[in-house]
């Protein structure tokens, strides 16, 4: 039968109160083992938001459900203890219904750490402060003999009310099911996705440990220190070690020496060579903090995150992470688009100043017998300063017996590709400015590769087109509203995705993208159900019409495409049968009376 099973494609949580009190407003994540909801507690006067983790049973036998319930209670008890810490979400409730098991946790409002890790390097002092904040939270988790399992910047939230860093999104649903599979002697998934690059090799292989969390924190620190995302870092093909030091050794301070050593140990490919727990790593970072100025050291001990790190309120979008006071009030009235231009210029200036002084390289950090890393770092400086051919020639000169030879060859390919992209985007931005299309200028600038030379070229174009970009973005938002009114959520989403970061309406556009995305999925489920109903009645033409309304890029699209093929074939068979009936009426044929 083609009748849609409600548990597969419908969301009853959207139509009823969970446990008679929680109204689900949004499905944040969905998988085979469970879902995560953003909900409201309707029994409290302010109806505050909360996060609900829904554990879905994957079997129906009594033994399985008993074991699942036991593990669920154990995980809930751990989360309750962790929630007593002031910088982790409190456990508000847990309950079971016919749909499965549910955990209700406090919703923490704020901005994710990923918004602070802008693509330019931080000062060493800021990185040390960030590591202290992250490791202090992780040490609490490890003290309970449990791991977080999904450490990445998106799961660190800078709480809006006090700017303190909080740790969220523990992998409860996943851990419950993996533990249950282990108890039942079933094989766990051999590999897990590593879409963001923060998971170590053993976790990707399905064998995580406490040191896996340490690896992720180390990569966050490297990203802050270098301005390079983990997915952009190369690995030694023989040892599996991350080749990040050429990006992080452009200064010779004692603090940086120690910081590079600590981070390198945190991200060792072999987990037994890392710090074994957050407490051990925290002790190493605290020793680095002793080298900070006294006022910064006191702030670190007090875990006051406001002294060196970003806050959502104090720092405009895409500004540098230095917590310095501006000499003039300019930043207070510049539009977000102009702030992007200012930021690009600041990044460019910092990069070029560093790249123009190769003698500042701390040569003691490089081996006397292998100058390949030094040559690669100098080539990178030339590349950022706009000297592509010199950079390529220098990188190509690294001998094959050097450990830096392989990453240098890989870097050459990336440089040439990114250079072509930057050149094309800069030219497109210039043409857009001439045409009065400020929105296109900003869109091209957003996708510009992190090359200081080309950012310098594009900076004045962004500043000149700021007002035009604001006007265009506002028009796109109005267009999206109009399309959503007539239930054209696909068209609304297309319009919203064209609004670039840096415009004043970008945050509202992102909010509406999430809202319209949910409504688009619900609408698609209804189209799919309608198609199933029409096909059940053999009305395949109407079923196909409903399926054609389901857009690409949503979970039900693959099912819709499969049903389109199936119903098209059934429609053809049905038409052939009717044709044969017309040509061969059989017993209905009456003999003609010729008398």
- Torsional sign, CA 226, 229, 235, 239: positive
Q: Is the pLDDT of residue 252 over 70?
A: no
Whether pTM > 0.85 for this model: the answer is no
How much is the pLDDT for 301? 39
How much is the pLDDT for 353? 34
Rounded to a whole number, what is the distance in angstroms from the first to the last CA of the chain? 53
Determine the Cα–Cα distance for residues 193 and 55; give it in Å rounded to an integer.
20
Q: Is the pLDDT of residue 320 over 50?
A: no
Q: What would the pLDDT profile of 355-366 be if each residue is shown by its tens digit? A: 333 332 333 333
Residue 497: count other Cβ atoms within 10 Å of its Cβ.
13
Q: What would the pLDDT profile of 444-486 be if each residue is shown by its tens digit? A: 887 788 888 898 888 888 888 788 888 888 888 988 888 888 8
How much is the pLDDT for 587? 52
Domains defined for the chain, CATH in brackets: 6-107 (3.30.200.20), 109-187+195-315 (1.10.510.10), 332-363+371-464 (no CATH), 500-582 (no CATH)
How far, CA to CA in Å, does 207 sit from each of 151, 203, 212, 274, 342? 15, 5, 9, 15, 45
Q: Is the pLDDT of residue 370 over 60?
A: no
Q: What would the pLDDT profile of 547-575 be if each residue is shown by its tens digit? A: 999 998 888 888 999 999 999 998 888 88
Q: Average of pLDDT values for 383-400?
A: 90
DSSP state of 230: G
Determine the Cα–Cα distance for residues 348 and 343; give it in Å rounded to an integer.
8
pLDDT band of residue 317 (cuts 50, 70, 90) is very low
Q: Is the pLDDT of residue 154 over 80?
A: yes
Q: Mean pLDDT score of the chain, rounded to an integer? A: 77
Q: In this structure, what token pair is assigned to residue 297?
A: 């050291």
Q: Is the pLDDT of residue 321 over 60?
A: no
Q: What would the pLDDT profile of 493-550 be if each residue is shown by its tens digit? A: 999 988 887 788 888 888 898 888 888 888 888 898 899 999 989 899 999 999 999 9
Q: Is the pLDDT of residue 235 over 80?
A: yes
Give the neighbor-by-neighbor strand order of the sheet with 110-112.
110-112, 156-159, 165-167
Maximum separation of any 2 CA atoms in the chain, in Å? 122
Residue 276: count other Cβ atoms within 10 Å of its Cβ.
15
Determine the Cα–Cα distance for residues 36 and 278; give it in Å rounded to an integer.
27
Q: Is the pLDDT of residue 217 over 90?
A: yes
């Amino acid at each position: 039968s083609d009748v849609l099973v409600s548990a597969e494609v419908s969301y009853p949580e959207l139509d009823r109160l969970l446990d008679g009190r929680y109204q689900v407003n949004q499905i944040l994540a969905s998988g085979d083992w469970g879902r995560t909801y953003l909900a409201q507690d309707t029994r409290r006067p302010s109806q505050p938001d909360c996060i609900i983790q829904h554990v879905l049973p994957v079997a129906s036998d009594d033994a399985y459900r008993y074991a699942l319930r036991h593990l669920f209670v154990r995980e809930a008890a751990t989360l309750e203890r962790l929630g007593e810490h002031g910088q982790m979400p409190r456990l508000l409730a847990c309950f079971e219904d016919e749909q499965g098991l549910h955990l209700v946790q406090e919703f923490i409002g704020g901005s994710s750490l990923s918004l602070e890790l802008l693509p330019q390097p931080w000062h060493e002092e800021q990185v040390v402060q960030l590591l202290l904040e992250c490791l202090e939270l992780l040490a609490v988790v490890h003290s309970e003999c449990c791991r977080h399992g999904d450490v990445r910047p998106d799961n660190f939230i800078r709480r809006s009310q006090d700017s303190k860093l909080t740790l969220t999104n523990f992998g409860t649903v996943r851990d419950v099911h993996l533990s249950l599979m282990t108890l039942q002697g079933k094989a766990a998934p051999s590999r897990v996705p590593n879409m963001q690059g923060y998971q170590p090799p053993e976790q990707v292989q399905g064998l995580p440990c406490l040191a896996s969390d340490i690896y992720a924190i180390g990569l966050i620190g490297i990203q802050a220190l270098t301005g390079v995302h983990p997915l952009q870092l190369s690995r030694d093909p023989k040892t599996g070690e991350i080749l990040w030091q050429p990006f992080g050794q452009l200064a010779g301070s004692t603090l940086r020496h120690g910081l590079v050593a600590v981070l390198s140990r945190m991200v060792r490919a072999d987990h037994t060579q890392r710090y074994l727990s957050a407490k051990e790593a925290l002790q190493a970072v605290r020793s680095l903090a002793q080298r900070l100025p006294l006022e910064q050291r006191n702030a670190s001990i007090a875990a006051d995150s406001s002294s060196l790190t970003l806050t959502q309120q104090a720092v405009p979008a895409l500004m540098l992470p230095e917590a310095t006071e501006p000499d003039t009030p300019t930043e207070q009235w510049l539009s977000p688009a102009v702030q992007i231009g200012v930021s690009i210029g600041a990044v460019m200036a910092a990069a070029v100043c560093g790249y123009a002084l190769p003698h500042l390289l701390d040569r003691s950090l490089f081996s006397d017998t292998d100058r390949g890393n030094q040559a690669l770092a100098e080539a990178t400086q030339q590349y950022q300063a706009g000297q592509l051919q010199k950079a390529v020639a220098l990188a190509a000169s690294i001998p094959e017996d050097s450990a830096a030879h392989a990453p240098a060859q890989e870097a050459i390919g990336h440089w040439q590709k990114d250079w072509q992209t930057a050149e094309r985007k800069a030219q497109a931005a210039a043409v857009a400015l001439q045409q009065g299309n400020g929105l296109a200028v900003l869109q091209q600038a957003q996708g510009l590769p992190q090359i200081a030379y080309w950012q310098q070229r594009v900076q004045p174009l962004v500043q000149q087109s700021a007002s035009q970009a604001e006007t265009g973005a506002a028009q796109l938002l109005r267009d999206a509203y109009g399309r959503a009114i007539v239930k054209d959520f696909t068209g609304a989403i297309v319009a919203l995705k064209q609004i670039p970061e840096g415009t004043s309406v970008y945050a509202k556009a992102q909010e509406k993208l999430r809202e319209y995305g949910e409504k688009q999925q619900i609408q698609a489920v209804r189209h799919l159900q309608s198609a199933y109903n029409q096909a059940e009645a053999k009305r395949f033409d109407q079923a196909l019409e409903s399926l054609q309304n389901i857009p690409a890029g949503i979970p039900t699209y693959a099912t819709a495409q499969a049903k389109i093929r199936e119903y098209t074939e059934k429609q053809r068979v049905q038409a052939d049968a009717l044709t044969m009936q017309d040509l061969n009426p059989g017993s209905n044929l009456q003999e003609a009376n010729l008398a």
